[in-house]
Amino acid sequence: MNKRVTIVGSGFGGLTAGALLQKQGYNVTVLEAAVEWGGCSGKFQRKDFTFPVGATLAMGFEKNGLHKQINDYLGFKTESYPLEKVMDVRIGERIIPYHTDRDLFLKVWEKEEQKQIQSIRKFFQEVWSIGQILRRHMLQYPVFPPKSRQETFSILRGVKPNYIRLLPYIGRSLSFLVKKYNLENCKTFIHFNNGVLMDSMQTTYEDCEILMGATALDIYHHGAFYVDGGLFKVAEELVNSIKSNGGKTLKPRRVTNVNKRDSIWVVTDHRGNIFESEHVIMNVPLANLNELLTKETYEKIKPGLKTKETSLKQWGAFTMYLAIDEDIVPNNFNLFHQVMIAPNKLPSSDNHFFMSMSKKDDEFRAPKGYRTITISTHINIEEWQSIENYEKMSELIKKKVLTKLESMIPGINEEKIYTITGGPVAWERFVLRKEGGVGGFPQTRQHAIWNAVHHRTNEKGLWLCGDNIFPGAGSIGASSSGVHVARSISGKRIL
């Protein structure tokens, strides 16, 4: 009887926790408000075309990677393809390939920045050595900040003698290393890294917590992947796993209320259905908790939220979705591009975007002879509060992106079949990200590691997961938080 678990939301965090717990013999029920599984890593459809809504670039499918471990544990396989070149980084007219192979990666920099190559080489070698030390530890799924004896023990167990090498970095941002190697004025190098950090850590090198930043600059060298169809395929596999092991997954079911009666959690959906369980996992942004929990429960857990219960500390996203004719795609065109339109400006919403294209013959996404494109930019939600500004900003970004795309894929403006756009209102409406805040909190020293929000609340049986919770940011971060919840509920070292 003490094994019932209700999960609010089917993002990567909730589905990971659900699939692992169901496999452990718990009775899991997932309630998803939207018509699709996967939240920000989900999809939507227009006629024959399928568009990933947000996440497109996948990590963690390499040997020992998080998703690979979960797939193996649950017994399913995701069709994922390792990318030799993760992406093309376009800074103005320059195109810098981002190779997964570290030697090739450094060779590119030898060509790009001959004068500074010694410093650049040393910078990356130091960053990668930090990343490698941390990676070994992260594969044990440590939880920060530790709240239980088990979590403290788990951190200590992962500590190796070479951890002493991390001590000089504690409490610093990545700018420590940029300054150490005098690279602040090496513009291409700065733009390149800032673009990568914005997409993965939601902040630039000046503010990015150094250990998280080093992990981000190391991670692609362990593998980056294209997933056939998109990351929603992983979400669907997790749903299948829950169902085939006897759990329930229901959509569209928007949860309106989460209440505690004696020691039982009572979850009510928009149709008035009631779900009772000993555990509830909230896979929703922290900003949504206030309206779902009772005042008493919310006040009780609030100190643990560390004043992060507003979406305004996260970025918003402006996204564009295009369907195009295969014929206009240039030969050897990379599937992923990080684009800085004007090289002298900051990576702001109208100057920096991430573009992903479907693979040739990925018929989950587009019929033969066609491709789909997903584009996303970071936006400051506060600037999008008035309708007037909203429309102005949408038009401005759309125009700039389409102009840049025309230079990358000549003929795209004439030939495109769809151009669909989405701003913060769409993100709130379709995946219930309050105020449109997405991607998790920027991994600055104020939000990362010791200042992150823990998956355990001080209400028995109430758990949190998703990209707002440690370790945060991205589908890997969200899934890790799901692993943490599953381990804490079951008391077992699952994976």
Q: Which residues bind ligand FAD (CB under 6 A)?
A: 8-14, 31-34, 39-41, 54-57, 254-255, 283-284, 288, 292, 317, 319, 376, 431-433, 438-440, 466-467, 474-476, 478
CA distances (Å), origin 271, targets 250, 254, 307: 12, 8, 32
State the minimum distance, in angstroms, from the CB of residue 39 to ligand FAD. 2
Would you say 25 or 82 has its CB closer to ligand FAD? 82
Q: How far is 330 from 410, CA to CA, in rounded Å?
A: 8
State the minimum distance, in angstroms, from the CB of residue 336 to ligand FAD. 8
Q: Is 448 left (phi over 0), alpha (psi -120 to 50) or beta?
A: beta
Q: How many CB atoms lie within 10 A of CB 129?
A: 15
CA distances (Å), origin 464, targets 106, 112, 346: 40, 44, 34
Would you say 177 or 198 has its CB closer to ligand FAD? 198
Report the residue number whose CB is nearest to ligand FAD. 11
CA-wise closest residue to 36 among 176, 282, 233, 246? 233
Would you say 109 or 221 has its CB closer to ligand FAD? 221
Would you say 120 or 317 has its CB closer to ligand FAD? 317
Locate the DSSP E strands across 298-351: 316-325, 336-340
Would you say 64 or 182 has its CB closer to ligand FAD? 64
Would you say 53 or 186 has its CB closer to ligand FAD? 53
CA-wise closest residue to 176 among 139, 125, 123? 123
What letter represents residue 413's amino acid? N
State the minimum distance, in angstroms, from the CB of residue 456 to ligand FAD. 17
State the minimum distance, in angstroms, from the CB of residue 353 to ligand FAD. 10
DSSP element (H, E) containing 99: strand 94-99
State the minimum distance, in angstroms, from the CB of residue 286 to ligand FAD. 10
State the minimum distance, in angstroms, from the CB of residue 344 to ligand FAD. 25
SS3 125: helix
394, 349 Cβ separation under 8 angstroms: no
Would you say 10 or 203 has its CB closer to ligand FAD? 10
State the minimum distance, in angstroms, from the CB of residue 5 to ligand FAD. 15
